[in-house]
Structures are given as C-alpha cells and as structure tokens.
Amino acid sequence: MRPPLRRRLAGITAIAVLFAPLSACAEPQPRRPTTGGTVRIAVNPWVGYEASAAVLGLLLEKELGYQVQKVKLNETQSWEGIEKGTVDVIVENWGREAEKKTYIEERKVAVSAGRNGNKGVIGWYVPQWMVERYPDITDWQQLNKYAPLFKTNKSGNFGQLLDGDPSYVTNDEALVRNLGLNYKVVYAGSEKALISAAKLATERRTPLLMYFYEPQWLFTQIKMVKINLPPYAIGCDAVPGKVACDYPPYLLDKIVSRRFADTGGRAYELVRNFTWSNDNQNAVANDMTNNGMSAEQAARKWIEANKIVWKDWLPG
C-alpha cells in the first residue's frame, strides 16, 4: 500500500537531509599542515646555534604546522631542561660526554638524534698580523716568551687568555696550568665580546690571544690563526683537571628528549633529518649579525634560497 502524500514528502525530505552532509564532505577541503602541538627548542648563547634553531623552527612552523617555543639556556641548563620536560631539542651539541653519560646512558631521558652536519673546532687564536710579526707564536711552547705582550689589567703579571661565556665547553684553565704557561684565563662573558675583541685587535694591531671556535661567520671577514697546542689523542681529555692536549674535532650532533623521540612524530623526523654545513650556518649567522636581520628574517631568506637543501629534511 502506498503511504499518503504527506508521509511520502516527509520521507523524501528526510532522505535529502540524510545525504546532505555526505555531499558537503565531497567538496574539496583546503589542505592543512599536520600538527602535533608545540616543540620546545633550547637556544644556547652563540649566534651560530641561534641560526640553526631559527631555520629548524621556521620549517617546523611553516612546513609542518607545529608551534615552536625557543627556550634561552646555556648548554648545561639545556640538558637539565630535557630531564625536567621543558626542552625537547638541543640543535647543536658540542661533545658533552659527561652529560651524555648522565642523561642518555644512566637516566635514559635523552637520546641522540644524529649529526647536524656542522664540524666544530675549538682552540686558541691570534690575529693574522701577530703571526706575520712573530712567526713562531703559533707554537704553544713559545707562548711564555710572548706572555708580556698579552698582559692586561685583568690578568696582572700574567698574559691574558681571553675566553667567552664561562658556560662554554672549555679546558683552558687546566691547559694553562698543566702546560706550565704564564697566562691567566679571563672571561669576556659572551660571544659578542670575543668578536669585538678580535675585530679591535685586527684593526688596531693590538696583541690578543683568545679562545674561539668554528663554525663562526667572523672567519669570513678577518683572519685569525690557530695556536698549535699538543695534539689531541683519544682519552687525553678524559680527566678534566689533567687535560694537557688540544681540543678534539667535533662532529656536532642533536639531542632530543626520549619522550619527543617516541611521540614527536613528523616533528621528530624533521629534527632527525636536519643536517647542514658550516657555510650554511655562517650565512644565516652573518645576516643576523651584520645585515640587520632578525633570526626569523635571516632564516626565511636562507629557506627561500635553499629549498634544494632542506626539502629532503621533511618527512615523507
């Protein structure tokens, strides 16, 4: 028996309402980046690290849709932040074997996310003009002969060895003591202060012996020459107080919290895949320092010009 017209119309209306949402779902939707929340990146106090964090952070935001929080900490505090749960990523780790033993091997709260591509060098440097005037000054065994040149108000009767931030990786006080050098380590307090000292010593041709490192954009502008300390051998720096050898070569790596490695998804994949050269980092750091750009502006400029480099970092 056919239902009355009123009931038939009501049924047709109900069917139309039932299928309307399906029709709407069939419409093409705008593609949205996959997001997994917030990634907290430690930012250590030197411009090269900040350059790496800026590029990685911008890619996480613009390509994958994550929010990024930059946490300004020194190296030791960054490892502590991983344990506390306030840091997910350390982009540029300089050795830190003691921290690796504590946080990776013993407490198991951190893991290595592979190398970041930067090759790190730490050492003592003098301006090029000093090597031209005193050719043997790059031999550590001749440094005591030149100690009077480096005396300052802060070093007193000793030659001054200028270091940066006290939180940086440094064996310098042990080296001075164990090599019998008539020098005193004086801390400038920051990377910026080291760079200013290097520029001034080059421009005014004043003596300077300083702790410094690569990658660093300054080497593209002025010439500094590395002192030949006793050669590094595996294990010669195992006991910090007894170090009497040069710094090791550093293949810099990334450290992440174990939680982030387990649950970070596409963000963790990007961090793990991130690897670039000293020249890449120096280009961004130079724009930040000398070309009036913010970290984000310099990172954006590099990203726009180097898709061929970073496209392979993105998760598949």
Provide the residue ranges of all domains of the chain, joining segments of one domain with +. Answer: 38-118+251-313, 120-242
Q: What per-residue confidence (pLDDT) applies to 46? A: 95
* Phi, psi at 163, each rounded to 5°: -105, 175
CB-neighbour burial class of residue 173 (10 A; exposed 0-12, middle 13-18, buried 19+): middle
| Ramachandran quadrant class, 9 (left: phi over 0; alpha: psi -120 to 50; beta: rest) | alpha
**pTM of the entire predicted model:** 0.82
Distance between CA atoms of 282 and 55, rounded to whole angstroms?
Answer: 12
Relative to beta strand 210-214, strand 110-127 is antiparallel
| pLDDT per position as a tens digit, 234-271 | 999 999 999 999 999 999 999 999 999 999 999 999 99
Q: What per-residue confidence (pLDDT) applies to 316? A: 84
Q: What per-residue confidence (pLDDT) applies to 29? A: 41
| pLDDT per position as a tens digit, 65-112 | 999 999 999 999 999 999 999 999 999 999 999 999 999 999 999 999
Among residues 193, 231, 238, the alpha carbon closest in space to that of 212 is found at 193
Please check whether the domain covering 120-242 is classified as CATH 2.60.120.260.
no
| Ramachandran quadrant class, 26 (left: phi over 0; alpha: psi -120 to 50; beta: rest) | alpha
**In the numeric block, which tokens belong to residue 110?**
């951190």
Relative to beta strand 38-43, strand 110-127 is unpaired
Relative to beta strand 38-43, strand 89-93 is parallel
User: Which parts of the chain sit beneath pLDDT 70?
Assistant: 1-36
Q: Please indicate whether the domains covering 38-118+251-313 and 120-242 agree at the CATH topology level.
A: yes
**In the numeric block, which tokens belong to residue 262?**
């387990």
In this structure, are residues 71 and 42 in contact, taking their beta carbons and an 8 Å threshold? yes
Helices (H), the chain: 5-25, 47-62, 75-84, 97-99, 128-133, 143-146, 172-178, 191-204, 258-263, 265-273, 278-290, 295-305, 307-310
Distance between CA atoms of 244 and 141, rounded to whole angstroms?
Answer: 12
Q: Which CATH number fits domain 38-118+251-313: 3.40.50.11030, 2.170.150.70, 3.40.50.2300, 3.40.190.10?
A: 3.40.190.10
